[in-house]
Homo-oligomer: A and B are copies of this chain.
Amino acid sequence: MNSNRTGKATRADVAELAQVSTAVVSYVMNNGPKKVAPQTASRVRQAAESLNYHPNAYARALRKGSGSLLGIIVPDFRNPYFALLNEAIEKEAYGRGYSTMFLTAHSDPELERKSIEKMVDREVDAIFMAPCQKVEELERLKDYECSFVMLENNVQIPGFACISSDFCEGVRLAIDHLVWHGRTNLVMFYGEDNSRDESRIRVWYEKHEEHGLRRGRVYRSRYTHESAYRAATAMLDAGERPDGIFVVSDFEAGGVLRALHEHGIRVPEDTSLISFDGTYFGLETWPQLTSVRQDIPRIARGALEAALNPDAPGMQIIPVDMTIRESCGCHVA
Contact = CB atoms under 8 A, between A and B. Distances in A.
Contacts of A284: 225, 254-255, 258, 284-285
Interface in A109-167: 118, 120-123, 143, 145
A195 to B, nearest CB: 28
A283 B54 CA distance: 46
In the complex this chain forms, how many copies of it are found? 2
A280 B225 contact: yes
A306 to B, nearest CB: 22
A332 interface: no
Question: Which of A102, A143, A145 neighbours the largest number of chain B CB atoms within 10 Å of its CB?
Answer: A102
Interface stretch (A55-63, A174-182, A201-209): A55-63
B83 A121 contact: no
B80 A78 contact: yes
Nearest to A257: B286
Nearest to A288: B258
A101 interface: yes
A13 interface: no
A123 B57 contact: yes
A143 B52 contact: yes
A6 to B, nearest CB: 8
B86 A77 contact: yes
Contact of A84 (B62, B78, B94, B258): B78
A104 interface: yes
Given A77-B83, A78-B83, A226-B283, 5 more contacts: A56-B123, A58-B58, A78-B280, A100-B101, A225-B284
